[in-house]
Structure 1
Amino acid sequence: MRTVTITDVAEHAGVSKSTVSQFLNKRYDYMAKKTKEKIELAIEELGYRPNIVARSLKQKSTTTIGVIVANILHEFSTQIIRAIEDFCHELDFHIIVCNADDDPEKEKKYIDMLRAKQIDGIIIFPTGDNVELYKRMIMENYPIVFLDRHVPELAISSILLDNEKASSLAIEEFVRNGYERIGIVTTSTFRNITPRIERISGYKKAIEAHGLPMEDEYIKSAEIHEIQSDLQVMVSLPNPPQAILAGNDLALIEILKYTKENQMKIPEDLALIGIDDVSFAGIYHPSITTIAQPTFDMGKRAAKVLLDKITNKDSREEVANIDRFKPRLIVRVSSSKT
């Protein structure tokens, strides 16, 4: 069948091509209601579908952005994606989501793929190992925003949590409940992932500030499949931690699996706080004290910064603009001393 064109729609509706174009681009504030109804009817009867590719070439915009997350299994990532999608939907932008699995090669392939599709900009949870690629994007003035992480030597806008403050809030809550031997468990810091490094740093500063024992054995960063074995080592120490800070939601889940399999009671045998307010925290038994990130605010901010860059491509950043968002303590049962 022959492709239905905008000319066919105009002839069928009895209006000009420019009027149909205005309608398709939603520039019809002063268009008569009857005219709009005729165009809508013509589109429906002819089965017209706009040629998105042709429109993109003409407008030099695909009205699409990419979002490359480090690990889509993180509840934080899914909430961020939703916030970005909500913001973009309001402005008639679309998003393509890619999961890099914290793999630099996979991340590079997705960046190349998205740019080949001529999308307008990318929000990235950077692995940090594609610095030369990021630099080329900066030189080309390609719109890019980092989320959850940053690369210090690059002038790229970054949206992050105040990670040290998040750890500090958790330690203060443990101390308030009388705990002195406090550990931290997080997923691997192998690639110097910003939030993991900063949360451990915040933990160390808070432990020191409260005059608590700083034990290397109380600090664990490991691949997910190694966390439970590391926990076994920690709880087998002569003076094991009385409380543990889970550095993110994936670490928290592994700790909960371990305590359940080993019949440990929370908080009687081990007090617990998790960074990331996971959806089950309030209904788990006992309920889990968490440090919440303002994920929707962070996602919307990242989307706004990127779309501002897209509409103002002539501006170039001289230094990295880092937005830090405040964490919030949500007290529940798991951090209380019984």
Structure 2
Amino acid sequence: MRKVTIADVAAQANVSKSTVSQYLNKRYDYMGEKTKEKVKAAIEELGYQPNIVARSLKQKSTKTIGVIVANILHTFTTEVTRAIEDFCNGSDFHTIICNADDDPDKEKHYIEMLRAKQVDGLIIFPTGNNRELYQRMLDDQYPVVFLDRSVQDIPVSAVLLDNEKASQLAVDHLVQKGYEKIGIITTSIINHITPRLERIQGYEEAIRKHGLQLNENYVKSAEPSEIQDRLNELLNLDTPPEAIVAGNDLVLIEVLKYVKQNHIRIPEELAVIGIDDVSFASFYTPAITTVAQPTFKMGKMAAEVLLDKISKKKIKDDRPDFRFEPKLMVRDSV
């Protein structure tokens, strides 16, 4: 079957090819409603499909961005990518989402693959271990934004939570409720992931601020599969913590599994605060106190900054970091 062309649509609608092209590119400034309706009807009747590759070559833009997430299982990741997709859709951009699993090799593969597909820019939750690749994108003046994490000495705009304040809010609330023996568990810090390190730093600063003794045995980090083992070590110390700050949603899930399996009562035997306001926190029994991130605002900001870079709009600094405020959601677990 012969492929329907712009010329066929123009003939069907009794307009010029340039008018059809203007319609397809949503340039309606000098186009009457009747003309728009005729072109639309002709496209539908003929089943015309634009040649996206040809249009991309002509416009030097694929109207597509790539998003490389660290771990798609995180509630945070799901919500921010939804916000990115919503914002890009409203700006007539498509998104391709890739899951790197915090694996530098997978991240490198996805960066190279997406650039080969000529996406217009990237939003990356960086592993931090592809510094040469990040720097090459900067040298090429390729639009890129980091989300949730930054990489030291790599001047890429980053959208992050105020992570230190997040754990400080958790510790402040626990101290206010009379707790002094407070522990924290995060996922692994081996790769120096920004939010994990900053949340531990914020925890330590808050402990000192309240004049409490900083117990190194109360600070644990591990892969998700090992979280319950670390929690078991914590709670079997000679002087175990009375309260736990779960560093993210995956840690909180493992803490709650352990608590249920070992018949530990919250908050009577162990107080719990999670960083990341997971959907089940409000209806779990007891409802879990959390520190929430403004996930949709963060995702929207990342998309907005990237599209500004793509359209060559001026960004304030070479590397502005956009920090968002956490919010304590007080419930029944503390």
Deviation by residue 1:148-174 (Cα, 9 ceiling, x = unmatched): 000120111001100000010000000
Alignment of 1:61-210 (within 5 A): 61-210=61-210
What residue is the counterpart of 2:332 in the other structure? 333
The answer to whether the 8 A contact 1:187-1:247 is kept is yes
Give CA-to-partner distance per residue, 1:21-64, whole Å, 9 cap, x none.
11111112432222222211211111101111111100000111
Q: 1:130 to 1:333 in 2, by over 3 A?
A: same
- Contact (CA 8 Å) 1:272, 1:334: kept in 2 or not? yes
- Aligned residue for 2:290, secondary structure, equals strand
Deviation at 1:218, TM superposition (A): 0.6
Whether the 8 Å CA contact 1:141–1:316 is kept in 2: the answer is no
Cα drift, residue 316 of structure 1: 8.6
Q: Distance in 1 between matches of 2:316 and 2:296?
A: 25
Give the number of aligned pairs.
Answer: 334
Paired letter, 1:249 = D
How does 1:1-338 map onto structure 2 within 5 Å?
1-312=1-312, 319-335=318-334
Displacement over 3 Å in runs of 4+: 315-319
Q: Residue 247 of structure 2 contacts residue 274 of structure 2 at CA under 8 Å; is this kept in 1?
A: yes
Structure 1 position 320, deviation (Å):
2.4
Give the alignment's TM-score, normalised by structure 2: 0.98
Between the aligned partners of 1:169 and 1:14, the Cα distance in structure 2 is 66
Q: Distance in 2 between matches of 1:184 and 1:222?
A: 11
List runs of 5+ in structure 1 lacking aligned partners: none
Asked whether the 8 Å contact 2:185–2:219 carries over to 1, the reply is yes
Aligned-partner residue type, residue 256 of structure 2: L
Q: Which amino acid aligns with 1:198?
A: E
Distance 1:52 1:175 in 2: 58
Equivalent residues of 1:156, 1:317 under 8 A apart: no
Partner of 2:282: helix, strand, or coil?
Answer: coil
How many angstroms apart in 1 are the aligned matches of 2:172 and 2:153?
32
* Worse-matched range after superposition: 21-30 or 190-199: 21-30
Q: 3-state DSSP class of the match of 1:122?
A: strand
* Residue pair 1:155, 1:317 contacting (<8 A) in 2 also: no
C-alpha distance in 1 between matches for 2:214 and 2:41: 73
Shift of 1:242: 0.2
Secondary structure of the structure 1 residue equivalent to 2:333: helix
212-221 or 156-165, which deviates more: 212-221
Q: For 1:228 and 1:74, how far apart are their aligned partners in 2?
A: 18
